[in-house]
A = this chain, B = another copy of it.
Amino acid sequence: MKFSINRKFFLDKLNIVSRSISVFSPLPALSGICIKVEDNRIILTGSDSNISIRSTIVPNEENELKIDSTGSIIIESKYLLEIVRKLDSQSLQFDLIDLTKVCISNNKGKFNLNGIESNEYPNIDFSIPGTKICLKSEELKQIYSQTAFACSDKDTRPVLNGVNFKTNGNILSCSGTDSYRLARKTVEINGNYNFNITIPNKSLSEVVKSLSDSDEYVDLYIDSKKIQFVFNQTVIQSRLIDGIFPDIDRIIPTTQISSMCVSSHEMASVIDRTNFIRNEKIHLIKLECSESETHIKTSSTEIGNSDEILSTCEYTGEPIRLSCNGTYMLEAIRALSGDKVKLEFAGLMKPIKISNPDDDSALMIVVPVRSYD
């Protein structure tokens, strides 16, 4: 194989493909990027067997790709990226020296890198699943930022390590939960669908990081086993998580006894600055709400205690006192990213509904914690 290509363009593609590569790969070939040069295109593949990324480069003015001869090789991802990132010329030349060695060069120097023969690369099935929906990149980014943080990071219930995508006609509900809190984002899609899948949090994160400002839309191809995200000649394929995702609708309270509306910035600041007052590593906050005043209190026998009044708070309903995890509350408020935040209380130990009063597409739930004082 022999080709030359614009360095920056190639680097962008390598960066995306390398996202799938794990540093702890059991198979040596999977710590590398497989470069396959065909007559009229280059295919880059990376995989950690959970997530696989394939990017195709077809010659055009931007990428300045010139293919002189075909061939293929696997090159250690971190070395390849390092060279392409740091060589400061506009274009780079790639020459296969033998089946396991490649020379990367520009006008001033050359790097000979040891690689692995391309036939050692596992066969990855990139067949296209049958169901297709299209989302705006911005929508997908928002789904991620408003749900994924609530996923569990523990191994005990694998299905909670992912974001659930569930359709009801033309409504797509995306939910993350670790069973103590919940984050749900709803978007409208074109057409009626019927699927209920759970996408690993990590895969979704890699997709979102790979989207550049110029990628306006992302196509999602879905079946019961895998999902493909397709944009800009790149396919990011992820396995889905098996198991039944909890029925979210049953958790969301339908009644309320009181509610409050407060500046998101104020509430987030107050919670954030008490972050160090912890009990057994948990940041517990106590809300004491009444129509005259709302306090946020914390207390730790070891460190001390705090008491702040929310000056922008409007509270309606019966007074209530309850405790919850401050970190969960803070993350929910930040994910909503509105100027104001609305909290709805259904009772002492009932889940708290947290939302943006100016945007009902996202809903957060935090479950209170019993406290004895």
Chain A interface residues (CB < 8 Å from chain B): 76, 78-79, 82-83, 86-88, 101, 108-114, 269-270, 272-276, 302-309, 311
Asked if residues A79 and B276 are in contact (CB atoms below 8 Å), the reply is yes
CB distance from A240 to the nearest CB of B (A): 36
Residues of B with C-beta under 8 A to A101: 304
Asked if residues B86 and A272 are in contact (CB atoms below 8 Å), the reply is yes
Q: A83-B273, A87-B273 are in contact. Are A304 and B109 (CB under 8 A)?
A: no
CB distance from A84 to the nearest CB of B (A): 10
CB distance from A302 to the nearest CB of B (A): 7
Cα distance A305–B102 when bound, in Å? 11
Residues of B with C-beta under 8 A to A86: 269, 272-273
Residues of B with C-beta under 8 A to A275: 82
Residues of B with C-beta under 8 A to A311: 108
Asked if residues B305 and A112 are in contact (CB atoms below 8 Å), the reply is yes
Asked if residues A269 and B88 are in contact (CB atoms below 8 Å), the reply is yes
Cα distance A311–B109 when bound, in Å? 10
Known: A88-B269, A109-B309. 5 other contacts (CB 8 A): A76-B303, A79-B276, A79-B304, A82-B275, A108-B309
Asked if residues A109 and B303 are in contact (CB atoms below 8 Å), the reply is no
Q: Determine the residue in chain B with the shortest Cβ distance to A269.
A: B88
Interface of A, helix, strand, loop or mixed by DSSP: mixed
Cα distance A82–B276 when bound, in Å? 8
Q: Determine the residue in chain B with the shortest Cβ distance to A308.
A: B109
Asked if residues A111 and B309 are in contact (CB atoms below 8 Å), the reply is no
Residues of B with C-beta under 8 A to A108: 308-309, 311
Q: Among B83, B88, B304, B307, which residue has its beta carbon within 8 angstroms of that of A113?
A: B304
Chain B CB within 10 Å — which of A111, A114, A306, A308 has the most?
Answer: A111
Cα distance A76–B300 when bound, in Å? 14
CB distance from A33 to the nearest CB of B (A): 15
Cα distance A108–B79 when bound, in Å? 54
Asked if residues A78 and B276 are in contact (CB atoms below 8 Å), the reply is yes
Cα distance A273–B88 when bound, in Å? 10
CB distance from A288 to the nearest CB of B (A): 13
Residues of B with C-beta under 8 A to A113: 303-304
Asked if residues A306 and B276 are in contact (CB atoms below 8 Å), the reply is no
Q: Determine the residue in chain B with the shortest Cβ distance to A301.
A: B114
Asked if residues A112 and B82 are in contact (CB atoms below 8 Å), the reply is no
Q: A109-B307, A109-B308, A109-B309 are in contact. Are A82 and B273 (CB under 8 A)?
A: yes
Asked if residues A307 and B276 are in contact (CB atoms below 8 Å), the reply is no
Residues of B with C-beta under 8 A to A114: 302-304
CB distance from A362 to the nearest CB of B (A): 26
Asked if residues B111 and A305 are in contact (CB atoms below 8 Å), the reply is yes
Cα distance A82–B110 when bound, in Å? 51
Cα distance A276–B87 when bound, in Å? 13
The 5 A-B pairs with the shortest beta carbon distances in the complex, nearest first, are A109-B308, A86-B273, A113-B304, A111-B306, A112-B304
Residues of B with C-beta under 8 A to A276: 78-79, 82
Residues of B with C-beta under 8 A to A302: 114
